[in-house]
Chains A and B, each alone.
Chain A
Amino acid sequence: MTVTIEHYLVLSAILFIIGAYGVIVRKNLIIVLMSLELMLNASNLAFVAFSNVLGDLTGHIFVIMSITVAAAEVAVGLAFVVTIYAHHETLNIDVLKLLKG
Chain B
Amino acid sequence: MIQIGIISVYLTLLLGLGLFTKRLFRGTSKDYQLASSSIGPFLLLMSVFGTTMTAFALVGSTGESYKEGVGVYGLLASSSGLIHSLCFFLIGVKVWSLGKRHGYSTQIQLFRDRLESDKIGLILFPVLVGLIIPYLLIGVMSSGAVINGVTEGAFTTWFATSDYGVPTWLGSLVVCGVVLLYVFYGGMRGTAWANAFQTMVFMVLGVVTFVFIANKIGEAANPDSSGFFDNLRAASEQVLEKNPSRLKRTTDEKDANKYKDLYKKWETLAHYNWAVKNKGLVFTPEQAEAVKKAQENFPKKTVPNYEMVVAAGYAAENGLIDLTDEEKRIALFVQDDRAFDPAKDPLVDGEGTPLPLGAYPRIPGIETEKSLKIFADRIGHPDALLDENDPAKGKKWSRKQAVGIYKAGNWAPEKPHPISQLKFLTYFFIPLSVGMFPHLFQHWLTARRGGNFKLVVVAHPIFIMIVWVPCVLIGVWATSAVIDGRPVIPPQFPPNVVLAKLVKDMTTPVLGGFLTAGILAAIMSSLDSQFLCIGTIFTNDIVVHYFGGRKISDKQKLWLTRSFIIGIVIITYLFSLAEPRRVFQMGVWCFSGFSALFPLVFAALYWRKLTKMGAYAAVLGAITSWCYLFYQSDFGNNPHYEVELAPGWGVMPVVAMIATSIVLMVAVSLVTRPPSKETLDKFFPKG
A binds B: no
Taking Cβ atoms with an 8 Å cutoff, the residues of A that contact B are none
